[in-house]
Amino acid sequence: MKIFFIRHGQTTGDLEDRYGGDYDDQLSEDGRKQAEILFSELKNKGIKAIISSPLIRALETAKIISNLGCPIVIEPGFKERNQYGILTGKIKSEAKNQFPDLVEK
């Protein structure tokens, strides 16, 4: 059995320069294209199931890949952790003004 670990593509948060973590954003247009390319690369790999984080960006990627005809299993333990605390999801330039000491750390 082979296991492929796949990370989602570019997100709207990437484009907006936000702190990531468990901030629940969507794939950008480029992120969806990246998932479509991945789908093409996985076509002949015999994928039997997809295990996905419950976050939107991961599920969007999983749904595109599931066009291979395999089920998606949502695993809450695959969710990214909140490594940025109160900065999570904030635009970095705005966070620098609101929380300069935290951003510096």
**How does pLDDT run across 74-90, given as a tens digit for each residue?**
999 998 888 899 999 99
- pLDDT single digits (tens) 5-25: 999 999 999 999 999 888 899
Q: Are 78 and 17 in contact (CB under 8 A)?
A: no
Q: pTM of the prediction?
A: 0.87
Q: Which two tokens stand for residue 36?
A: 């479509």
Catalytic residues: 8, 80
Domain 12-16+23-81 classification at class level: alpha beta
Dihedral sign for Cα 7, 25, 69, 78, please: positive
Q: Are 89 and 97 in contact (CB under 8 A)?
A: no
Residue 38 CA to residue 49 CA, distance in Å, equals: 15
Q: Assign 96 a pLDDT band (cuts: 50, 70, 90).
A: very high
